[in-house]
Structure 1
Amino acid sequence: MTVTISRRGILTLLAGAGAAALAGCEPARGPASAPGVAIPDPLLVRVDGGEALLRGTDRRTFPRAVGSADGGWIFATAPDGPDTACWRIDTTTGHASPKTVLPGRWAPQAVSGDGTGVALTTTGATASGGRPPGRNATPVLVADVNGVRHRLDLRGNFVPEAFTAEHTGLFVLEWLPATAPDRYRVRVVDLATGEPGPLSTRDKTPVPPGAEEEMRGDGRQAVLAPDRTVLYTLYTHQPGHQHTRDLVSGRPGNAHAFVHTLNLAARWAYCIDLPHPFGEAAAAGHAMAISPDGGRLLVTDVSSGTVADISTEELTVRRTVPQDRGTGAAHAAAGDDRLFLAAGTTVRALDLTRLTGTADWQVREPVTGLVLSRDGSRLHVGQRDAVSWHDAATGRELGRVPVPGLVGLHGLAGSA
């Protein structure tokens, strides 16, 4: 299964409520969604109180938590005196592991692709939360259901983003300069040595000194490939940005938007430039989805009415297709034969092969997220304090449940 997450927490796709930081209480069981109304597909959603798991008529909120990218697991924490209690929830069953105690106060930031490990820091700064405060050193804890596995004391200003596929490394954002950050680069920390280093290029050669990409723009959204080996992140507003390949070759660069491709298994990165007018308008008007087979990335800019069709094998834009323009924050979800786009109160269904419109639907309130059921028959639509679900073929609303404080949709809960 593929889940869309907001950048840059895959891993994430993600991060939960680190910004709620280190105060609060045990995870709370909220009121039933609505008397007699059960949501048909379990969902992980973001609410202003943290991460929430919606299953049937039940709603459980975890104030300091982060979910795995596939929606199968949640790592939650709570203060335990001067220390931190940490446990894992199986979103398929709702069962929780026994709590372990981590020495000190920690906030969860990133979960491994298979849901077995979690990276935590001492502050609420997340990979998806924008610029962190200045600092010269960053303590990081790597844990699992049995307790601490690694303690890292990184010199500089770092934020965990994702684990390598084999769990021996941790991808991080290194913010520069450390005490007054205004840009960042992606690096990988060797968990055995605790040392951060550069990624490799697409041909698997180490990036030479001085050629690591430094980014200043907006990481709009990230999606994980269905096989969990590649993380794609959409960046906008990068005037004057130079990719590693430009820095190595000496060519000028001026990309306003691109998709940063991070191979979690081979540890290489590559950027797919998006053509004009991507990146010219507001970052919120851009969205991205991946096809269920992982072969295509679809990127939309609703402000200009453009969809880019990207081959994940070739890492190139194969075509762009014009659409009607829209306003507001953009959202996207892809099924086997359709691409769903939303902006404002309009949801559009496109034929995935031709990328031409088949229908436009109106919903009650501005959309805050789209999630397609595993069988492709239902489209879940996040709105103001509610989630509705619709017949994916006709757009007819099939049901609606209140979700007070809803911020956005994380994805389907439970293992695929």
Structure 2
Amino acid sequence: MMPKSTFSRRTLLTALAGAGAAALAGCDPVRRPAAPTAAVPLPDPLLIEVDGALGVLRGTGRQTIRSAVATADGRLIHASEPAGADTALWRVEAVSGTATDRVRLPGRWVPQTVSADGTIVALTTEKVSVTKERPPGRESTPVLIVNGDGVGRRLALPGNVVPEAFTSDHNGLFVLEWLPPNAPDRYRVREVDLATGTAGPLGTRLKQPIPPGAEEEMRGDGRQAVLDQDRAVLYTLYTHQPDHRHTRDRISGRPGSDVHAFVHTLHLEQRWAYCVDLPHPFGEGPAEGHAMAITPDGSRLHVVDVTSGRVAEISTEELTVRRTASFVASTGPAYAVAGADRLFVAAGPAVWTADLEKLGSVAEWSVADPVCGLALSPAADRLYVGQRAAVSWHDPAATGGELGRVTVPGLVGLRGPARSL
């Protein structure tokens, strides 16, 4: 059993004041929201990445949080900031900006991941992206689990791990375990039992235990992750996997196939994982040229590689590639979002749209600057396009003509719409 310490809300240091929208302002507890970014109000609140922080655009205002993690559905944000030698932690409703009272956690922590329902958060001493970077070498990893009441439990996990997601029942934590711990060059997905702090392998898609030594290890790039509409399955796109062998190959003794990209499927309720291989040429070009989008009903995943000009459609029920088609070839970072009947893809200063039933039929729109993100409004009646220092919105059912624009200094990414509880 791993060392752990438990503390209740009463044993935390004195809670800090700070309810309401002003709590979203960032590191400075008295900082006010930034001045309006445009005369025309934004129709829908949006989550953005700005100046190395998480931001929220609402109406004509912008608020920024320097250390925060949002739920995948854009409803809740867990934020933290230093409080002397300790950490103040609070939760924000993304649309309204309403914040809980702050609780003070012993030591310095940053939010790393949050449960799909937003009620429990895992904090680490330094945040590491599960899809963009590898952690520094270390023999053990401190993790703090805090629930909505401010009750926390500290775990000292052996090895070099990065929390990725919680199980649906909150009893387990999926992590990336990096190997070897002091000089990491590959990783595997494991589940930590939060009651004991012990880590073990996931089950197979058939809900069978994985034999010792059969866990797959990955060396490539995690490009993007999306959660399904039921908040039960996490899909992560991986590219550049040299000599990779899936768990199913290790168990059967088959050699690994010549696959350079796949979608790692992680079931948060049933605790199994399965990889959907993508055909050639996916994964052979730059990782940033790939993007993934899920349909609103969760039935289909679409993976686009703009470098090769290909798109693949995955059935989430069968976990197989249903079909592939030619798309538009381009260069640079790719972004994608799917509606009920259309797929939108962007790279550089262009946006393409395709009918989901005719993936090869593509129409192109031009925008002012290189794109840094796409998002559909909750009603799917506006397509938001993040660009250099601005967010524009367009009619997705027409020619893509610009309907409005707000300036956003420092914008580096568009996450998606903020949604009401």
Q: Normalised by the size of structure 1, how large is the TM-score?
A: 0.92
Q: Choose which of 222, 241, 247 in structure 2 pairs with 1:219.
A: 222
Q: Is 1:117 matched with 2:120?
A: yes
Deviation at 1:75, TM superposition (A): 0.4
Shift of 1:272: 0.3
Distance 1:107 1:70 in 2: 20
Which portions of structure 1, spanning 4 or more consecutive aligned residues, are displaced by more than 6 angstroms?
Answer: none
CA distance in 1, matches of 2:156, 2:171: 16
Cα separation, 1, equivalents of 2:173 and 2:30: 27
Could you say if the C-alpha distance between residues 247 and 28 of structure 1 is closer, same or farther in structure 2, counting changes exceeding 3 Å? Answer: farther
1:327 deviates by: 1.3
From 373, 378, 403, the counterpart of 1:398: 403
Match for residue 40 of structure 1? 43
- Given the alignment of the two structures, is residue 410 of structure 1 paired with residue 415 of structure 2, yes or no? yes
Aligned partners of 1:220 and 1:89: how far apart in 2?
A: 27
Q: Structure 1 residues 25 and 31, CA, compared in 2 at 3 Å: closer, same or farther?
A: closer
Spell out, residue by residue over 1:200-223, the C-alpha distance to the aligned partner (whole angstroms, 9 max, x if none).
000001111111111110000011
Structure 1 position 27, deviation (Å): 8.3
Equivalent residue, structure 1, for 2:387: 383
**Alignment CA distance shift 1:33-1:389 (3 Å):** farther
Structure 1: distance between partners of 2:150 and 2:259: 43
Deviations 1:100-132 (A, max 9, x none): 111100011001100111100012333234111
* Percent of residue pairs bearing the same amino acid type: 63
| Contact 1:28–1:61 under 8 Å retained in 2 | no
* Equivalent residue number for residue 346 of structure 1: 350
Shift of 1:255: 1.9
Q: Deviations over 1:326-354 (max 9, x none)?
A: 11111100001110011111101100111
SS in 1 for 2:222: strand
Superposed, 1:12-411 pairs within 5 Å as: 24-26=27-29, 28-253=31-256, 254-393=258-397, 394-411=399-416
Q: Indicate the RMSD between aligned Cα atoms, in angstroms.
A: 1.4
Q: CA deviation at 1:157?
A: 0.5
| 1:356-386 Cα shifts (integer Å, max 9, x gaps) | 3352100011111000011111100011111
What amino acid sits opposite 1:102 in the alignment? L
Q: Tell me, in whole angstroms, the C-alpha distance in 2 between the residues paired with 1:151 and 1:126.
A: 21
Task: State the AA in 2 paired with 1:334.
Answer: A
Once residues 205 and 296 of structure 2 are traced to their aligned partners in structure 1, the CA distance between those partners, rounded to angstroms, is: 24
Letter in 2 for 1:320: T
Question: Which segments of 5 or more consecutive residues in structure 2 lack a partner in the other structure?
Answer: 1-25
- Equivalent pair of 2:130/2:222 in contact (CA under 8 Å): no
Residues 240 and 295 (structure 1), Cα distance of their counterparts in 2 relative to 1, 3 Å cut: same
Any idea what SS the aligned residue of 2:251 has?
A: helix
Q: Distance in 1 between matches of 2:334 and 2:392?
A: 17
The structure-2 alpha-carbon separation of the partners of 1:27 and 1:162, relative to structure 1 and needing over 3 Å to count, comes to farther
Q: Distance in 2 between matches of 1:49 and 1:71?
A: 18
Q: Distance in 2 between matches of 1:220 and 1:124?
A: 17
Shift of 1:24: 4.9
User: Which amino acid is 1:399 matched to?
Assistant: G
Contact in 2 for aligned 1:26/1:62 (Cα 8 Å): no
Contact 2:259–2:280 (8 Å) recurs in 1? no
- The answer for unaligned runs of 5 or more in structure 1 is 1-22
Q: How many residues align?
A: 394
Q: Which has the higher contact order (CA 8 A, sep 6+)?
A: 1
Cα distance 1:370–1:405, how it changes in 2: closer, same or farther (>3 A)?
same
Kept after mapping to 2: 8 A contact 1:141/1:150: yes
User: Residue 70 of structure 1 contacts residue 415 of structure 1 at CA under 8 Å; is this kept in 2?
Assistant: no
Q: TM-score, normalised by structure 2?
A: 0.91
* Matched residue type, 2:107: G
C-alpha contact 2:219 2:242 (8 A) present in aligned 1: no
The 2-side partners of 1:147 and 1:34 are apart by 35
More divergent stretch after superposition (106-115 vs 406-415): 406-415
Residue type of the partner of 1:302? V
